[in-house]
Structure 1
Amino acid sequence: MAIYVDADACPVKPEAEKVATRHRMQMYLVSNGGLRLSQNPLVEAVIVPDGPDVADMWIAERAGPGDVVITGDIPLAAKCVAAGAQVLRHNGEAFTPANIGQQLAMRDLMTDLRAADPFRQGGGKAFSKSDRSRFLDALERAVRAATRR
């Protein structure tokens, strides 16, 4: 059992570390660099080589039943869901077998819309305290569900 964090733009690393510590779970922060190292013996920073999706591939090759993956990357989420892992976005929303197909289709649609209108200004909503709180609650539930497997 482990928690894998797609750490490059993850705003909830400290919260994930708290939950990992509480449950005495190994946590892997996977990135291509630029991470502040934790002194926590349960937290391992994994620095992968630069390249497209290298961190995603590292996580996807290891995650499975009993593990929890934290990512905003939908293709990575799809691979991890298929492998049986519990998968969460940074705001606590779960990727599941029931919703991952729709999430992939929406991602592809949005990619096409952005490509069709290069002047489209976009950006997600700001990450809020309620997102952080929702994430903590969802991660706690996911860890408990993973431990029952």
Structure 2
Amino acid sequence: MKIWVDADACPVVIREILFKAAERVKLPVILVANQPMKVPKSEWISAIQVLSGFDVADDEIVKRVEAGDLVITSDIPLASEVIDKGGLALNARGELYTLDTIKARLNMRDFMDTMRSSGVHTGGPAALSQADRREFSNQLDRLLTRYQRQNRASK
């Protein structure tokens, strides 16, 4: 398992949680962004800088993700593509996207895009709360624990 991070929009506090997890469980965390990203010196943490442009980082993640990998993103279309490839997608608020939920999320996203393009002000997402950070951390721990158990069982 690798953890891919859609890093352009990923909050710093979430990246820090991921860095600690990478060291703890010895799994690669790769940040993908269209700008330089500071990462701690670690054999488990790296960054890939892609060219600027619409969905360039997303496309790079989709190209590289494999079944069983985890992608951290709030981008619904990216999450859908990751799920289609057999990966897992988790947003910064700790919501794990699944086959059961992603289509409804895509429909809502498309509806909100239509509303915005019609001139309706829909507002943005709320600021990341302490509860959101805790839920992200808890969900990440559950996923990594499940991965470690499966990995031990297969050995």
TM-score of Structure 1 vs Structure 2, range by shorter chain:
over 0.9
Given the two structures, how large is their TM-score scaled by the length of structure 1?
0.93
Q: What's the CA shift for 1:14?
A: 0.5
Q: What's the CA shift for 1:146?
A: 4.0
Ranges in structure 1 where 5+ consecutive residues have no aligned partner: none
Q: 2:101 aligns with which of 83, 93, 99?
A: 99
Letter in 2 for 1:20: A
Which residue of structure 2 aligns with residue 28 of structure 1?
30
Partner Cα distance (1:4, 1:146) in 2: 15
Partner Cα distance (2:25, 2:32) in 1: 20
Given the two structures, how large is their TM-score scaled by the length of structure 2?
0.89
Letter in 2 for 1:3: I
Ranges in structure 2 where 5+ consecutive residues have no aligned partner: none
Partner Cα distance (1:90, 1:50) in 2: 23
Q: Identify, as 1 or 2, the structure richer in helix.
A: 2
Q: 2:62 aligns with which of 48, 60, 63?
A: 60
Partner Cα distance (2:107, 2:133) in 1: 26
CA deviations on 1:62-85 (whole Å, 9 max, x unpaired) are 212221110011110000011111
SS in 2 for 1:29: strand
Letter in 2 for 1:26: P
Letter in 2 for 1:99: T
**Matched length:** 148
1:82 aligns with 2:73: no
Letter in 1 for 2:3: I
Letter in 1 for 2:145: R
8 Å CA contact 2:112, 2:122 repeated in 1: no
Which residue of structure 2 aligns with residue 10 of structure 1?
10
Q: What's the CA shift for 1:20?
A: 1.6
SS in 2 for 1:141: helix
Letter in 2 for 1:4: W
Partner Cα distance (2:119, 2:110) in 1: 15
Partner Cα distance (2:32, 2:134) in 1: 23
Which residue of structure 2 aligns with residue 143 of structure 1?
144
Which residue of structure 1 aligns with residue 50 of structure 2?
48
Higher RCO (C-alpha 8 Å, min separation 6): 1
Q: CA RMSD in A?
A: 1.5
8 Å CA contact 2:76, 2:109 repeated in 1: yes
